């Protein structure tokens, strides 16, 4: 049974899900949506995702949305296949959860707004708010300082192995480094830089990048 | 177990509600935010982001309220109220989905409204009516989705009260004491759900702590 993933393969939140599916070697089919044509706001898509956002998945009869709920589901469903993305003990899982929450609440909105102002709006022929972009960048600098401190103590955010907490950052950091000209936020920090080098060179992520460029 | 926080903070209240639902012994350690205690070196060793709450159980240290409630709900799965949907990965995924909805759809506009309509007046600052109106409109659209969901399901994730509902309590309570109350009152299923979840004895205990603080 192939998992259907609704959304553009180049968008950040679908990539979060696809990275996880590739890590777990789960067969999937990307059902492309044209966001500029408003596909995600049309009635039949709203039945899948009432907030009109990508991605949504369909796995046989099972439907789910919210990328971070989807990755938790597949990491649990295929716990014994491929890398352990969750941690072992309840305490280890709690720490993975903690850093997933950090990504969601302390990292994501800053990256989203920065990329919106510097990349997305200009691509649409609109003016980005450079003052807002600067504020986001300054706040993100402070967040990355905390990541640098954390990653000086452990190879990955939640401990010694790659987990969902690291995976969840992949799409956002790619946007920062490759599209928004914010690579220095990563490269100027020794441990953050080493961490990004490692997680962006994972075979699953590299495969996704190839699929997204085709 | 120790919970470090401020009874007025929504994130602290989120964890307090969970601890009371689970009927477990814990020590509450008040963090003097007015004096900047949450930015002290001692507190930063508990939460490097300098945010409340922070949680300790033996050697385990956790921050991020939603990771903390998840841990407590699982660790004490056999005690007090069942806040999870154990049974299958699919039922847990549905719970996760609605927890993500609270975090990503509800919380952003709701928190901005609490800031404009409750926090600012309390500290003698001027409400930005444009920002308040913008976020009331956004929250209204989210609550339309909730209205549809709660017409089909007694609580957000399933037929019983769960973490997905609990996570909303602090922000809902603050908004029900503001002009934004109308957003909830005007939607019958949402209104009924608010009435039921805010009447829970565990939430009354949290409100008693808030009253003592103010």
Instruction: Specify the pLDDT at position B20.
Output: 98
A101, A109, A132, A144, best to mutate vs chain B, most B CBs in 10 Å: A101
Interval B47-104: pLDDT, tens: 999 999 999 999 999 999 999 999 999 999 999 999 999 889 999 999 999 999 999 9
The answer, yes or no, to whether residue B29 has pLDDT greater than 80, is: yes
The answer to whether A102 faces chain B, any CB pair under 8 Å, is: yes
Put simply, the answer to whether A94 touches B101 (Cβ < 8 Å) is no
The answer, yes or no, to whether residue B214 has pLDDT greater than 80, is: no
Put simply, the answer to whether A146 touches B48 (Cβ < 8 Å) is yes
Instruction: Specify the pLDDT at position B173.
Output: 97
The answer, yes or no, to whether residue B141 has pLDDT greater than 80, is: yes
User: Do B155 and B193 meet the contact criterion of CB atoms below 8 Å apart?
Assistant: yes
Strand order of the β-sheet with B60-63 is B27-30, B2-5, B54-57, B60-63
Could you write out the DSSP letters of every residue in A67-131?
HHHHHHHHHHHTTTSSS--S-SSHHHHHHHHHHHHHIIIIIHHHHHHHHIIIIIHHHTT----HH
Please, what are the averages of pLDDT over each run of 10 residues along chain A (214 residues)? 95 97 98 94 96 97 98 97 96 97 97 95 92 95 98 97 98 96 96 98 98 92
Put simply, the answer to whether B145 touches A98 (Cβ < 8 Å) is no
Q: What is the ipTM of this complex?
A: 0.83
Share of chain B residues as helix, strand and coil, in percent rounded to the nearest 5: 60, 5, 30
The answer, yes or no, to whether residue B35 has pLDDT greater than 90, is: yes
The answer, yes or no, to whether residue B146 has pLDDT greater than 90, is: yes
User: Do B103 and B96 meet the contact criterion of CB atoms below 8 Å apart?
Assistant: no
First-to-final CA distance of chain A:
24
Q: Which residue in the block uniquely carries the two structure tokens 């408003």?
A: A38
The alpha-carbon gap from A119 to the nearest alpha carbon of chain B, in Å, equals 22
Residues B24-51: what's their mean pLDDT? 96
* Helix and strand totals (H; E) in chain A: 12, 4
Measured between beta carbons, the chain B residues lying within 8 angstroms of A62 are: 90, 93
CA-nearest residue of chain B to A148? Answer: B48
The alpha-carbon gap from B138 to the nearest alpha carbon of chain A, in Å, equals 11
The answer to whether A64 faces chain B, any CB pair under 8 Å, is: yes
| Cis peptide bond prior to A55, omega within 30° of 0 | yes
B43, B64, B171, best to mutate vs chain A, most A CBs in 10 Å: B64
Interval B165-176: pLDDT, tens: 999 999 999 999
Instruction: Specify the pLDDT at position B213.
Output: 83
């Amino acid at each position: 049974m192939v998992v259907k993933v609704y959304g553009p393969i180049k968008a950040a939140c679908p990539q979060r899900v696809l990275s996880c599916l590739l890590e777990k070697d789960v067969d999937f089919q990307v059902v492309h949506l044209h966001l500029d044509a408003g596909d995600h706001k049309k009635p039949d898509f709203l039945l899948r995702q009432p907030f009109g956002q990508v991605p949504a998945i369909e796995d046989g009869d099972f439907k789910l949305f919210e990328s971070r709920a989807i990755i938790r589901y597949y990491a649990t469903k295929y716990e014994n296949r491929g890398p352990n993305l969750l941690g072992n003990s309840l305490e280890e899982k709690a720490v993975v959860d903690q850093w997933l929450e950090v990504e969601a609440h302390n990292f994501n909105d800053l990256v989203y707004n920065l990329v919106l102002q510097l990349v997305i709006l200009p691509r649409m022929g609109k003016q980005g708010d450079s003052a807002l972009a600067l504020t986001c960048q300054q706040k993100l600098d402070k967040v990355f300082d905390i990541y640098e401190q954390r990653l000086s103590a452990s190879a990955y955010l939640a401990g010694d192995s790659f987990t969902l907490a690291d995976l969840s950052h992949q799409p956002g950091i790619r946007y920062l480094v490759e599209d928004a000209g914010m690579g220095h936020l990563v490269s100027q920090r020794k441990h953050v830089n080493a961490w990004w080098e490692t997680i962006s060179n994972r075979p699953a992520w590299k495969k996704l990048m190839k699929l997204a460029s085709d | 177990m120790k919970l470090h926080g401020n009874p007025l903070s929504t994130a602290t209240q989120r964890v307090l509600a969970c601890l009371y639902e689970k009927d477990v012994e814990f020590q509450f350690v008040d963090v003097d935010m007015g004096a900047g205690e949450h930015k002290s070196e001692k507190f930063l060793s508990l939460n490097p982001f300098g945010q409340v709450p922070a949680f300790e159980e033996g050697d385990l240290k956790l921050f991020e309220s939603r990771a903390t409630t998840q841990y407590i709900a699982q660790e004490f799965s056999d005690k007090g109220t069942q806040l999870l949907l154990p049974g299958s990965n699919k039922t847990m995924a549905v719970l996760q989905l609605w927890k993500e909805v609270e975090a990503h759809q509800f919380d952003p506009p709701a928190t901005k409204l609490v800031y404009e309509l409750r926090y600012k007046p309390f500290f003698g600052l001027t409400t930005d009516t444009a920002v308040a109106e913008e976020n009331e409109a956004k929250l209204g659209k989210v609550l339309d989705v909730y209205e549809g969901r709660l017409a089909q399901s007694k609580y957000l994730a399933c037929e019983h009260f769960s973490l997905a509902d609990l996570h909303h309590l602090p922000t809902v309570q603050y908004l029900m004491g503001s002009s934004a109350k109308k957003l909830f009152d005007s939607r019958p299923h949402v209104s009924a759900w608010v009435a039921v979840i805010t009447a829970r004895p565990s939430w009354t205990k949290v409100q008693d702590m808030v009253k003592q603080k103010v």
